[in-house]
Amino acid sequence: MGSLALSRVEVLDQPAPSIAGEVARIAREQLAPLAAGIDDGSVYPAEVLRAFGAVGAWGSHMPLEGPADLRCAIESMAAIGEVCGATAFMAWCQNTLVWYAANSTNLKLARRFGDAFSTGRVLGGTGLSNPMKSFFGIEKLKLKGKKVEGGYIVRGALPWVSNLGPDHYFGTIFEREDDQGTVMFLADCSDPAITLTPCKPFLAMDGTGTYGVQFRDVFVPDELILADPAAPFVKKIRAGFILLQAGMALGVIRDCINIMDEVDSPLGHINRYLPQQPVHFRELAAELEAETMALARDPYNEEETYWRKVIALRLRAGEAGVAAAHAAMLHCGARGYLKSHRAQRRLREAYFVAIVTPATKQLRKMLADA
Ligand SMILES: Cc1cc2nc3c(=O)[nH]c(=O)nc-3n(C[C@H](O)[C@H](O)[C@H](O)COP(=O)(O)OP(=O)(O)OC[C@H]3O[C@@H](n4cnc5c(N)ncnc54)[C@H](O)[C@@H]3O)c2cc1C
């Protein structure tokens, strides 16, 4: 009896598992066995994405009567990224979709989709690469919309949108044909006028449900409009959009440090001649994490200095990921050159973090123009 009472007290004394802790557990138990299949494109991990949603991974960054805090979402994505970079990217897609719906002033839309997206019951992503490039003068908008009674007719094509499937949604932007600005909306992949075409195989990320998306005169009703006009909305959500990407980078860097540590015992005597050691990346990761978490507390900050810090952090995170993965390859030697070793997967994933919008070159342009 006494020992039973004691064990109950012990159980009650345990701190409640944090969302990021639960996400890390699911990543280790359910995601790790799938990582190789996701990497080679034979698996799209819908069930694991839903399991992450069920423990709160996609809901923690929703604004609560004003402010929003992205720290838990980023920490959870880092835990996923430590196991699988492709799934960390899908996590970012889902979190970004939630971010759009939660910030929309279209309350009907927020009510209809808020819970569905944040619990992972409905999955999806974001097609904002082309708009983000167009807003910074890199390319023209690829989708055009015509105002009609009760909505818009949208046509055009986006070359790559991830975390999609036949019943998924994603947020994107079209330009009005009457030159009255841009509109952000939710695209419903089950609409027969929307076609998803599988992409040619990538270097990595093939299991991310990435498709070319064609809009053939799609009717987008007012109920699916996220923001009209889009410009002020984009200004509101853009720091969150970029900061959430830090989770992917932190996860990849952490596992690259793990990889270097794992080969220390057999190869440390020779690896010590390499200029970059795990200790350097531990310091770098801690610094990036501290900066990320400080910025992530305040994603609606409108100051230019804040925005510049967000861009600079994102640039450093992408570059640090590639550097850590490069170092992990050199530390592993022939072991990491085997297809079956995850070091080469980490390198391919790290390059993706550096090229996904805003890519390294765009970030450098943004800093140069700011
Ligand atoms: C695996 C993968 C997943 C992605 N997922 C998403 C997503 O979910 N949402 C999203 O909005 N964007 C997505 N993207 C796009 C991504 O964010 C970047 O926009 C893209 O990698 C190019 O960025 P960049 O700035 O380097 O542009 P650049 O590569 O310098 O230029 C891009 C432009 O060049 C043209 N182009 C170049 N190569 C090709 C090609 N092979 N086919 C067609 N056009 C081409 C297109 O006009 C394109 O807009 C994805 C890309 C990849 C590779």
Residues 154 and 271 in one domain: no
Q: Is 3 a member of any domain?
A: no
At which of 173, 202, 230 does a domain end? 230
CA-128 nearest atom, ligand 1: 11
Task: Please state, in angstroms and as integers, the Cα–Cα distance from residue 365 to each residue in 138, 175, 198, 314, 359, following that order.
Answer: 9, 23, 31, 13, 10
The reported pLDDT for the residue numbered 338 is 95
CA of 130 to the centre of ligand 1 (A): 8
Residues 191 and 86 in one domain: no
The reported pLDDT for the residue numbered 17 is 72
Q: Is 329 a member of any domain?
A: yes
> Which residues' Cβ are closer than 6 Å to ligand 1?
93, 125-130, 133, 139, 159-162, 202, 205, 210, 355-357, 359, 362
Q: Is 179 a member of any domain?
A: yes
Residues 241 and 363 in one domain: yes
Residues 20 and 113 in one domain: yes
Helix (H) / strand (E) element for 201: namely none
Sequence-ordered list of residues with C-beta below 8 angstroms from that of 334, at least 6 positions apart, any chain: none
The reported pLDDT for the residue numbered 9 is 43
Per the CB < 8 A criterion, the answer to whether 313 and 292 are in contact is yes
List pLDDT tens digits, range 261-312.
999 999 999 999 999 999 999 999 999 999 999 999 999 999 999 999 999 9
Q: Is 10 a member of any domain?
A: no
CA 219 centroid distance within chain: 28
Residues 44 and 97 in one domain: yes
Query: Among 158, 160, 215, 365, which is best to mutate for testing ligand 1, by the most ligand atoms less than 8 A from CB?
Result: 160
User: How sure is the predictor about 5, in pLDDT bands with cuts at 50, 70 and 90?
Assistant: very low
Helix/strand number for the chain, H first, E second = 16, 8
Residues 92 and 180 in one domain: no
Residues 239 and 361 in one domain: yes
User: How sure is the predictor about 65, in pLDDT bands with cuts at 50, 70 and 90?
Assistant: confident
> For ligand 1, atom 21, which residue shows the shortest CA distance?
356
- Cβ atoms within 10 A of the Cβ of 20, count? 23
Query: Among 141, 162, 237, 349, which is best to mutate for testing ligand 1, by the most ligand atoms less than 8 A from CB?
Result: 162
Residues 73 and 25 in one domain: yes
Residues 137 and 80 in one domain: no
List pLDDT tens digits, range 179-195.
999 999 999 999 999 99
**What residue numbers bound the domain in which 83 lies?**
16-123
Helix residue ranges, H only, 17-128: 19-26, 35-40, 46-54, 71-81, 85-103, 107-118
Q: Is 11 a member of any domain?
A: no
CA of 160 to the centre of ligand 1 (A): 6
At which of 230, 258, 279 does a domain end? 230
d(CA 148, CA 292): 43
Q: Is 330 a member of any domain?
A: yes
Q: Is 4 a member of any domain?
A: no
CATH classification of the domain holding 69: 1.10.540.10
d(CA 109, CA 76): 26
CATH classification of the domain holding 216: 2.40.110.10
> For ligand 1, atom 34, which residue shows the shortest CA distance?
139
- The total of structural domains in the chain comes to 3
Cα dihedral 177→182→184→188 (10° resolution): 20
List pLDDT tens digits, range 222-253.
999 999 999 999 999 999 999 999 999 999 99
- Cβ atoms within 10 A of the Cβ of 365, count? 17
Helix residue ranges, H only, 225-277: 231-243, 246-262, 264-271
d(CA 253, CA 91): 17
CATH classification of the domain holding 280: 1.20.140.10
Residues 218 and 149 in one domain: yes
> Mean pLDDT across the chain, nearest whole number?
95
The average pLDDT across 163-173 equals 98
- Cβ atoms within 10 A of the Cβ of 229, count? 13
CA of 198 to the centre of ligand 1 (A): 14
Residues 238 and 214 in one domain: no
Query: Among 135, 200, 357, which is best to mutate for testing ligand 1, by the most ligand atoms less than 8 A from CB?
Result: 357
The reported pLDDT for the residue numbered 58 is 98
Q: Is 108 a member of any domain?
A: yes
Residues 43 and 63 in one domain: yes
CA of 282 to the centre of ligand 1 (A): 31
List pLDDT tens digits, range 87-142.
999 999 999 999 999 999 999 999 999 999 999 999 999 999 999 999 999 999 99
At which of 211, 230, 249 does a domain end? 230
The reported pLDDT for the residue numbered 60 is 96
